[in-house]
């Protein structure tokens, strides 16, 4: 087998074989360990030199289905609580498969009316879901990092125009550094986006009140006052990764807007507080910001990769990202080219999965799921609080629980080492999966619940498995 043209007749059988393999894989994912001893070896078995003569799609698929499935981290399953990781809802996965089959280029209306129309619909639905004004611009991105980039590039454009300069046309020459104010909750991806936007990683000034990283509102107000009306960019954080806490967004918006500052909100997962009944108070005021982002592949539970960026003034997005060429069609309000709203030109039709999952489950389905996850996090926090051998390190206002193992009588100065080793053993054990962080200068755990499959019996393993493995570590000291 060499030329793919000879493979045409095998396409149907290949797709059916994949469907069966995927069904088997996903049927087992509720019960299988997140991580097994087979993962590394199976992944290594896929490392081969480039075939001079292809082995054919049948042999390829056999190998991918066996070794590939063995090598896969069960992160789509219900007990992967590391980072903030969603799964794929049945509707989203089915639609995403179909998106691959249709293979649309969601660059422009001409390249794909389907992809463009569904992105337009989907961006509108998401604004509705997150209660953002309907006239804002929006675009689907590869994730929250690129969404932060879209928001901050729009902010950069606004900032330049405030100085009478078109940075997207003429660059930064002659302009002062861009002041960027934020709290200690700033996510690394926003820092990376500042670098990509040419604003600079070091530009971020964290005005921190305490060792947790909460915003010092007085320092924030003074820092803006010192600018004497010169434009600035504020980054507010809706849902920080250690404990799921929020900056005081409403107050930040009010203070910033009185002093000529743009407010960008990183709500990669925290924006979903606005969908819930239990946590919506945390994200009050987001609608007053200038740009807001969230992830799709986290709490919306669509497959990788997907994020969303929303900007109050859509003209700033196109000003930063439009692409022109004699052969390229111009987008219009009615028929936008989404390639003009974000960093990519040719792009996957991510809207299909987003549209599908919102169509299938609606606002109510998402409200139920998000509220369930928040309740599950509270359940784990209560278990930790009630346990004599665990310590809750922060309240759990959303879906992240920050705690550490602290067996009675264990020497204080050995706790960091004990928790670090426990973290490694938990990941290796694989029954339940979550890693360590640094919180207020101690080693801590921070499981995050964001997968539609997760239930009480899954989250109950967080404390019980940590205790079982912790006891043997503590005993072997």
Site string for ligand PLP, 239-258 (x = CB under 6 A): x-x-----------------
Which residues fall within 8 angstroms of residue 251, CB to CB, at 6 or more apart?
A: 217, 285
> Which CB sits closer to ligand PLP, 449 or 463?
449
Measured CA to CA, the distance from residue 323 to residue 319 in angstroms comes to: 10
> Which CB sits closer to ligand PLP, 270 or 285?
270
Strand order in the sheet with 291-295: 137-141, 307-311, 291-295, 261-266, 232-237, 180-182, 204-206
Q: Does 89 bind ligand PLP (CB under 6 A)?
A: no
Site string for ligand PLP, 437-476 (x = CB under 6 A): ----------------------------------------
Binding residue for ligand PLP (CB under 6 A) from 295, 340, 344, 458? 295
* Both tokens assigned to 163: 């100085």
Tell me which residue has its CB nearest to ligand PLP: 143
> Which CB sits closer to ligand PLP, 84 or 380?
84
> Which CB sits closer to ligand PLP, 96 or 295?
295
Binding residue for ligand PLP (CB under 6 A) from 187, 367, 404, 421? 187
**Residue 258 gets which letter from DSSP?**
T
| Residues 45, 230 contacting (CB under 8 angstroms) | no
> Which CB sits closer to ligand PLP, 269 or 338?
269
Measured CA to CA, the distance from residue 405 to residue 418 in angstroms comes to: 8
Q: Does 268 bind ligand PLP (CB under 6 A)?
A: yes
The residue written with tokens 């302009």 in the block is 175
Closest CA to 296 of 456, 130, 185, 447: 130
Site string for ligand PLP, 119-158 (x = CB under 6 A): ------------------------xxx-------------
The residue written with tokens 């509270």 in the block is 378
CB 154, min distance to ligand PLP, A? 17
> Which CB sits closer to ligand PLP, 241 or 278?
241
Footprint (CB under 6 A) of ligand PLP, residues 27-86: 84
For helices 144-162 and 188-196, what crossing angle results, to 10°?
50
Measured CA to CA, the distance from residue 376 to residue 370 in angstroms comes to: 10
Footprint (CB under 6 A) of ligand PLP, residues 213-242: 239, 241
* Both tokens assigned to 224: 């803006």
> Which CB sits closer to ligand PLP, 115 or 270?
270
* Both tokens assigned to 148: 């932060």
CB 127, min distance to ligand PLP, A? 19
CB 243, min distance to ligand PLP, A? 12
Binding residue for ligand PLP (CB under 6 A) from 88, 111, 112, 189? 189
Coil, helix or strand at residue 22: helix
CB 2, min distance to ligand PLP, A? 38
The C-alpha R_g of the chain, in whole angstroms, comes to 24
The interface region with ligand PLP, picked from 13-21, 149-157, 265-273, 335-343 by CB under 6 A, is 265-273
List C-alpha distances in Å: 233 to 82, 312, 427.
31, 14, 39
Coil, helix or strand at residue 81: coil
The residue written with tokens 């050995």 in the block is 414
Coil, helix or strand at residue 160: helix
- Residues in contact with ligand PLP by the rule CB under 6 A: 84, 143-145, 187, 189, 239, 241, 266, 268-269, 295, 307
């Amino acid at each position: 087998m060499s030329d793919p043209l000879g493979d045409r007749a095998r396409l149907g059988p290949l797709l059916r074989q994949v469907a069966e393999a995927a069904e088997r894989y996903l049927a087992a994912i509720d019960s299988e360990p997140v991580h097994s001893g087979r993962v590394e070896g199976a992944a290594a078995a896929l490392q081969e030199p480039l075939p001079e003569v292809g082995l054919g799609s049948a042999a390829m698929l056999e190998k991918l289905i066996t070794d590939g499935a063995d090598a896969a981290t069960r992160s789509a399953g219900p007990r992967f609580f590391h980072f903030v990781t969603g799964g794929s809802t049945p509707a989203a996965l089915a639609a995403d498969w179909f998106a691959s089959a249709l293979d649309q280029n969601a660059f422009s209306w001409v390249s794909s009316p389907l992809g463009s129309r569904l992105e337009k619909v989907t961006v509108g639905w998401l604004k509705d879901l997150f209660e953002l004004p309907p006239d804002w611009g929006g675009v689907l991105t590869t994730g929250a990092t690129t969404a932060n980039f879209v928001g901050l590039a729009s902010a950069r454009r606004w900032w330049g125009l405030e100085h009478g300069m078109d940075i997207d046309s003429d660059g930064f020459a002659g302009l002062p550094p861009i002041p960027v104010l934020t709290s200690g909750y700033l996510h690394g991806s926003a820092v990376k986006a500042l670098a990509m936007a040419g604003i600079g990683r070091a530009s971020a000034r964290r005005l921190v009140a305490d060792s947790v990283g909460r915003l010092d509102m007085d320092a924030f107000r003074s820092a803006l006052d010192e600018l004497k009306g010169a434009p600035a960019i504020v980054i507010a954080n809706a849902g920080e990764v250690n404990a799921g806490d929020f900056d005081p967004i409403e107050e930040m918006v009010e203070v910033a807007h009185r002093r000529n500052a743009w407010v960008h909100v990183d709500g990669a997962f925290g924006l979903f507080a606005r969908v819930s009944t239990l946590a919506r108070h945390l994200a009050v005021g987001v609608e007053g910001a200038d740009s807001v982002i969230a992830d799709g592949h986290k709490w919306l539970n669509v497959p990788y990769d997907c994020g969303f960026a929303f900007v109050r003034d859509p003209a700033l997005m196109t000003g930063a990202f439009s692409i022109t060429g004699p052969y390229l069609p111009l987008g219009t309000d009615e028929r936008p080219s989404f390639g003009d709203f974000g960093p990519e030109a040719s792009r996957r039709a991510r809207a299909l999965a987003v549209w599908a999952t919102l169509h299938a489950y609606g606002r109510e389905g998402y409200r139920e799921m998000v509220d369930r996850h928040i309740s599950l996090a509270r359940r784990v926090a209560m278990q930790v609080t009630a346990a004599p051998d665990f310590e809750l390190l922060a309240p759990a206002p959303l879906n992240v629980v920050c705690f550490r193992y602290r067996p009675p009588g264990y020497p204080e100065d050995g706790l960091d080492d004990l928790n670090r080793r426990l973290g490694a053993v938990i990941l290796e054990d694989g029954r339940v999966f979550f890693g360590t962080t640094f919180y207020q200068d101690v080693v801590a755990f921070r499981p995050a619940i964001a997968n539609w499959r997760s239930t009480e019996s899954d989250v109950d393993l967080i404390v019980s498995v940590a205790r079982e493995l912790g006891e043997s570590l503590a005993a072997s000291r």
